[in-house]
Structure 1
Amino acid sequence: MSDDVGELANLNYWAYWLGLDHLPRGDDAFMGDRSVWDAGALLRCLVDRLHPDLGCIDLNVHSVWSLLTARPGVLAVDPDLCRDLRERVVRLLESGEVSRQSRRELDAVHYGLRLNTP
């Protein structure tokens, strides 16, 4: 996931895996395409996975950061989701249970939430 194509593939795969992409897929070629899944629904699913006990917490943090980078307007839609995201981000930052990269990404998400939400 070192470029925009990789980031998009990651988000497309999450949407597919979580059932938000309702089209049948015969192979993984769709992962590089601009898909039309609901960014708010994907964010909700990813926020629910921001828990330090999950073995893939760093991937989950990165996916939230990537989604917010790709679709920054998604936060404006749901104030409750923003509040939940803020609480989870603070908890993770305080826990010390994430990698250095995840900490940087969480700091960026936290900063963006402070700037863009009441």
Structure 2
Amino acid sequence: MLDALTHTLRTRPGRPAVLGTTRTGAVRVKATCGDLADLTDRYAAALHARGVGRDSTVGVAVRPGPRALAVLLAVHRLGARAAVLDPGAGPDVLRARLALARPGLV
């Protein structure tokens, strides 16, 4: 499924990929498919440069949105696992999750 999404991002760069709402409730485009594909490429390159690869575990502490989706797609592309962490969780919760997931990089 993620491979199909990646293909769609490349073949339809101008289409909306991530939508949000304004304070008035109007729908707005937060990222196009092309934006998301480019962001995913940059995150994949950065993670790879830090040694992330197949069977690595990466702690992902990013609020929901285009960056979070791009990081998760980049981790998938590299064959790594993502341990999704809630950046709003308290320190005890984060410590427990990090101890369980043992990511090589957060």
- Larger helix proportion of the pair: 1
- Larger strand proportion of the pair: 2
TM-score under structure 2 normalisation? 0.25
TM-score under structure 1 normalisation? 0.23
